[in-house]
Amino acid sequence: MVNLKANPYWLSDEDIQWVEETIDGMSDEEKVGQLFFQLTASHDEAYLKELMEKYHLGGCRYNPAPGKVIQEQNRKLQKYAKVPVFIACNTEAGGDGACADGTKIGAGVKIGATGNEEYAFALGKMSNEEAASIGCNMAFAPVCDIAYNWENTEIITRAFGNDPERVANMSAAYLKGAHTIPGFACAAKHFPGNGQDFRDAHLSNNVNYFTVEEWDKTYGMVYRTLIDNGLDAIMAGHIMLPEYARTINPDLKDDDMMPATLSPEIMKGLLRDRLGFNGMVVTDASHMVGMTDRMKRSEMLPRTINAGCDMFLFFNDPEEDFHTMLNAYRDGTISEERMTEALTRILGLKAHLGLHKKAKEDLVPQPEAAEQTLGKQEYKDMQKAISNDCITLVKYKDQDVLPLTPERYKRIMIVHIKAAESGMSFLMKAMGMGGKKNPAELLKEKLCAKGFDAFIYESPLDVMKKQIEAGQKPDINIYFAGKNAIADFVKDMDLVITLCDVSSGRPSFGMSKGGGEIPWYVFELPVIVIGCGQPTMLADIPQARTYINTYDAENTTFDALIEKLTTGPEAFTAKDPIDSFCGLFDARI
For residues 216 and 212, give the distance between their C-alpha atoms in angstroms, rounded to a whole number.
Answer: 6
Q: At what angle do helices 318-330 and 297-307 cross, to 10 degrees?
A: 60
- ∠ at Cα 175 (265, 345), nearest 5°? 45
413, 452 Cβ separation under 8 angstroms: no
**Of 164, 177, 185, 181, the residue nearest 117 (C-alpha):** 177
Cis previous bond, 535, omega within 30: no
388, 557 Cβ separation under 8 angstroms: no
Greatest CA separation for the chain: 83
If you compute the radius of gyration of the chain from its CA atoms, what whole number of angstroms results?
A: 26
For residues 565 and 545, give the distance between their C-alpha atoms in angstroms, rounded to a whole number.
Answer: 15
Q: What are phi and psi of 543, to 5 degrees?
A: -75, -5
- Exposed / middle / buried, residue 156 (Cβ in 10 Å: 0-12, 13-18, 19+): buried
Q: Name the H helices within 278-400.
A: 289-292, 297-307, 318-330, 336-352, 367-373, 377-390
Q: What are phi and psi of 287, to 5 degrees?
A: -95, -5
- Residue 24 annotated among the catalytic residues of the structure: no
Which of 145, 163, 232, 284 is labelled catalytic? 284
Reduced DSSP (H G I as helix, E B as strand, rest coil) percent helix, strand, coil of the chain, to 5: 45, 15, 45
Strand 507-508 with 411-419, pairing: antiparallel
Give 385-439 as a DSSP string: HHHHHH-EEEEESSTTSPSP-TTT--EEEEEEEEEPPPHHHHHHHHTT---SPPH
Give 88-131 as a DSSP string: EE--SSBGGGT-TTSPB---HHHHHHHT-HHHHHHHHHHHHHHH
3-state SS, residue 507: strand
For residues 128 and 97, give the distance between their C-alpha atoms in angstroms, rounded to a whole number.
Answer: 9
98, 126 Cβ separation under 8 angstroms: no
Cis previous bond, 242, omega within 30: no
For residues 347 and 58, give the distance between their C-alpha atoms in angstroms, rounded to a whole number.
Answer: 9
For residues 128 and 91, give the distance between their C-alpha atoms in angstroms, rounded to a whole number.
Answer: 7
**Of 28, 226, 72, 224, the residue nearest 141 (C-alpha):** 226
Q: Which residues are catalytic?
A: 284
